[in-house]
Structure 1
Amino acid sequence: MSRPARQQRPPQIKIRTVRNRSTGKDETRYELVLDVGIDPDTGKRKQIRRRFRTEKDAKDALAELSTEVAQGTYAPAAKGFTVAQAIDEWLAHKGMRLKPTTLRSYRVTLQPVRDELGDKTLRELTEAHLVSLIQRLRAGEVRRRDEDGSLTEGFRPKWSGRSCNYLISITRQMLRSQQRQRRVSHNAAEFLESVEQTDSKAGAILSEANFYRILDHEDRDRHLWWLALHGLRRGEIAGLRWDKVNFESGILTVSENRVVVGDQISSGTPKSKASQRHLPMSDDLMDVLRAARASQRAERLALGQDYGSGEYVASDATGDPYHPNLLTFRWGKLLDTLGIPRVRLHDARHSSVSLLIARGVDIPTVAAWHGHQNPAVTMARYAHSQPEALRSAAAVYRRAE
């Protein structure tokens, strides 16, 4: 049987020999030269010229670029426009409509991309560059940098799978913006696969017994822990003012978010439109809040003119609002006092979702109570099976006597 004829190399691809400056050795490259139309400014023929390590990579690029040219979607990469410039431009544009905390999370997440790949042009950036960076972030092999960008002796801590997937998502968005502006024809992050999230903290919730131990514990900040276990975020607790607690109507209005941005505290609306909500208070919650209000009034009388505004529900003995980080610190001390294994303050919110679902509250209602725009988020991120609920489920399989 005769061998199949070897597929001829397309005429647009030529073999070139180049000198590797690092090793001093000659290496083979496959150079792609493709006509992409006429330059409207000069009237001359335009060509792109790229080199690849393998013939397959060159052929794949030829097929992709030829399709783009034929369909009229080809966009020549902006010469000299770097990844760092693209990131800075995108963040500046996003800063006009994002909350400070979200913008900061974008900036922090993209910082390794800027540090490690920022000097490359958009044309040079490839999926392989991003894959290598993510692998090194996962392994803790990316060096720290000072504010001026210079390398330090230390390394960044290992990144979780969730953090790496966030980086992939934001990088993909940034590069799509560059595609829309026709600065680059391909998105190096478009087909990046998600990192397996084996480091999820999905089980970090309170048992039902510990949930009620916290509610029953007498503490100056008891009312704050009630709010946390009723599903309010830390920033929503820190930003709740007494004028938003209506004891006559029994409605608590969540409309302000006090969060830490760098070394500053920022106050604004909650993180989404759905997070701005009006929650009916149970009689027990109103009793706890009334007791806290009375205690703060007594502190105002004792301190006199030196007392602060006292307008926030989370205020210290002098009437000044709590720093949001102080809520986290006091929550940890509370758990230690009660001998409860530490979970994050935000996990009180997870526990709230799980308890309501276990008690049979429908998912859309649970989502609305906790300020989720999409009920699917409620199920995917916050609902965890309690051991008690699992035992109840197991009982279903028992043979009826």
Structure 2
Amino acid sequence: MTRSPTGTKLAQQQDQPGVAYRRCGCRGEDGKQLGFSCPGLEHVSHGRWYFAVQVDGVDGRRTRIRKGGFATEADARTAMAQLQSLPSAEAVARTWTVGRWLRFWLAEIERHEAVRASTLAGYRRVVDGYLIPELGHIRVSKLRTKQVQRALDRIASRHTRTGRLIAASTVHGIRAVLRSALSHARRTGLVGFNAAWRIKTPNGVRAYPVVWTPAREREWRLHGVRPRVACWDLPHLGRFLEAVQDDRLFALWWLVALHGLRRGELAGLRWQDLDLVGRELTVREQMIVIDGQTLLGPPKSEAGRRTLALDETSVKIFRQYRREQARLRGGKLDVLDPLFTRVDGSPMRPDWLTREFQRRCADLGLPPVRLHDIRHGSVSIDGAAGVPLKLTSQRAGHSSVVTTVDIYQHVFPETAHAEVAKTAALILRHAKLRMRSGGASQA
């Protein structure tokens, strides 16, 4: 009769390549499992066989793998031998859950500083809010495309706090995070394929900003109908700047209108970034908020590090602003102090800046726009002014002119009418048309 090792003997054998043992699920009077101490284990037919083996984990630590439910010791040892024949990463994949792998992947990214802090924070929100609740319990080695598809379908059917379906772009972002994590798992040998590839996600329609024309403004004022995303036309922007010209942050609002800086970039500017002699403003950092904590970090992309030229009007505005700030600070302006602050001199957060802008818009009764929409408008003004596209893209801090044209640059009605008149004039040079009331007759 083959006897299984006791708990003491099993503990002594843990340093061996692997061990097979027998235990049962009987419980004593206290309700606890008897395990190795069950007297019934004296009988060969009592209990089930298990094995325990240690392998090198992908995290550099030894991982113990235990598996049971075998009828005989031979079955347990055969399964153990099969597991030991696998590469260690593949063996680990049979024990690690998707949730454990995702947390390990995030820790690796943070340890190697592979992405910006704000990007990592976004990854964590996706992992904790969507991926672990939906897929975290599944073994990495058992994850299949069908399971991922069903999970993303469930996520896509959720509703936001406003009652709308979750945005298609959000679902795309969730899939991208999972795909990246599983790509890393594949590179380490943990899995043989990426279950997040070939996944169907909602198509969604990108909300392209439109211009607040007089017709759209009337519709909004009469019926409350408004575009999802819209930017002001030139008269709206002019009304705003005229109304806030005595505002203590007028230099900031002017800078947004002229160069379309991101709100994090505005909050991250310091006095050392402003060169009124050379008439330049340098964007080096941006302020980001992670878990309620404000941090200074690099711009959104490498193209975000840029030097912007200032015109003579901008120089006059900033000279006046500097004089006023020096008076409020007792004549002392440290080069490392924030360029723009709150009333009490404390640094401004990007979300605070958003609220300040919205409050001023509401007070003025202007059509609603986001602060970021002024950035769209700034790029569009460049187009109306005939600024070369490459220069506009550089000023906006875009990595590609495609982003500038496809997403940010819109055509103002005045520009559209002026340009179509040029096109019509060119055609009329070569088409001798007799014009009459109600239209043109053929020549």
Alignment root-mean-square deviation, CA: 3.2
Secondary structure of 2:192's counterpart equals coil
The aligned residue for residue 130 of structure 1 is: 148
Q: Are 2:272 and 2:336, in contact at CA under 8 Å, matched by a contact in 1?
A: no
1:220-254 deviations in Å (ceiling 9; x for gaps):
21111122221211111001111211111111111
Give how far 1:310 is off: 8.9
Aligned with 2:271 (options 242, 250, 254): 242
The aligned residue for residue 238 of structure 2 is: 212
- Pair 1:100 & 2:129 matched: no
Q: Are 1:256 and 1:269, in contact at CA under 8 Å, matched by a contact in 2?
A: yes
Distance change in 2, residues 1:156/1:85 (3 Å): farther
Runs of 4+ more than 6 Å apart: 43-47, 154-157, 307-310
Q: Work out the CA distance in 1 between the residues paired with 2:263 and 2:159.
A: 33
The aligned residue for residue 137 of structure 2 is: 119
Q: Work out the CA distance in 1 between the residues paired with 2:191 and 2:268.
A: 43
The aligned residue for residue 187 of structure 1 is: 194
Equivalent pairs, count: 322
Q: Are 2:267 and 2:287, in contact at CA under 8 Å, matched by a contact in 1?
A: yes
The aligned residue for residue 97 of structure 2 is: 82
1:355-387 deviations in Å (ceiling 9; x for gaps):
212332232211111111222222233223333
- Pair 1:338 & 2:364 matched: yes
**What amino acid is the match of 2:180?**
Q
Once the two structures are overlaid, the 10-residue window that deviates more, 83-92 or 357-366, is: 357-366
The aligned residue for residue 54 of structure 1 is: none
The aligned residue for residue 225 of structure 1 is: 253
Aligned with 1:168 (options 175, 184, 204): 175
Secondary structure of 2:93's counterpart equals coil
Distance change in 2, residues 1:196/1:389 (3 Å): farther
**What amino acid is the match of 1:353?**
V
Q: Are 1:300 and 1:318, in contact at CA under 8 Å, matched by a contact in 2?
A: no
1:237-275 deviations in Å (ceiling 9; x for gaps):
001111211111111111121121121101122222221
Aligned with 2:303 (options 274, 277, 287): 274
Secondary structure of 1:187's counterpart equals coil
Contiguous gaps of at least 5 residues in structure 2: 1-77, 211-229, 434-443
Q: Work out the CA distance in 1 between the residues paired with 2:82 and 2:201.
A: 44
Aligned with 2:288 (options 259, 267, 279): 259
Aligned with 1:375 (options 401, 410, 417): 401
Distance change in 2, residues 1:311/1:104 (3 Å): same
Give how far 1:388 is off: 3.2
**What amino acid is the match of 2:169?**
R
**What amino acid is the match of 1:285?**
S
Distance change in 2, residues 1:394/1:175 (3 Å): same
Q: Work out the CA distance in 2 between the residues paired with 1:205 and 1:180.
A: 45
Secondary structure of 2:151's counterpart equals helix
Distance change in 2, residues 1:156/1:308 (3 Å): farther
Give the TM-score, by structure 2 length.
0.65
**What amino acid is the match of 1:278?**
T
**What amino acid is the match of 1:78?**
A
Distance change in 2, residues 1:364/1:155 (3 Å): closer
Q: Are 2:379 and 2:408, in contact at CA under 8 Å, matched by a contact in 1?
A: yes
Q: Are 2:261 and 2:375, in contact at CA under 8 Å, matched by a contact in 1?
A: yes
Distance change in 2, residues 1:159/1:268 (3 Å): same
Q: Work out the CA distance in 1 between the residues paired with 2:335 and 2:347.
A: 8
Secondary structure of 1:258's counterpart equals strand
Q: Are 1:255 and 1:270, in contact at CA under 8 Å, matched by a contact in 2?
A: yes
Query: 1:127-166 to 2 correspondence within 5 Å?
Result: 127-140=145-158, 158-166=165-173
Query: 1:3-82 to 2 correspondence within 5 Å?
Result: 78-82=93-97
Distance change in 2, residues 1:45/1:268 (3 Å): closer
Q: Work out the CA distance in 2 between the residues paired with 1:384 and 1:108.
A: 33
Q: Are 1:296 and 1:310, in contact at CA under 8 Å, matched by a contact in 2?
A: no
Give how far 1:290 is off: 1.7
**Same amino acid, percent of matched pairs:** 28
Q: Are 1:238 and 1:257, in contact at CA under 8 Å, matched by a contact in 2?
A: yes
Q: Work out the CA distance in 1 between the residues paired with 2:205 and 2:82.
A: 56
**What amino acid is the match of 1:335?**
C
The aligned residue for residue 150 of structure 1 is: none
Q: Are 1:238 and 1:321, in contact at CA under 8 Å, matched by a contact in 2?
A: yes
Distance change in 2, residues 1:133/1:212 (3 Å): farther
Distance change in 2, residues 1:215/1:169 (3 Å): same
**What amino acid is the match of 2:133?**
D
Contiguous gaps of at least 5 residues in structure 1: 1-38, 48-74, 143-153
Distance change in 2, residues 1:289/1:194 (3 Å): farther
Give how far 1:80 is off: 1.8
The aligned residue for residue 350 of structure 2 is: 324
Q: Work out the CA distance in 2 between the residues paired with 1:106 and 1:335.
A: 33
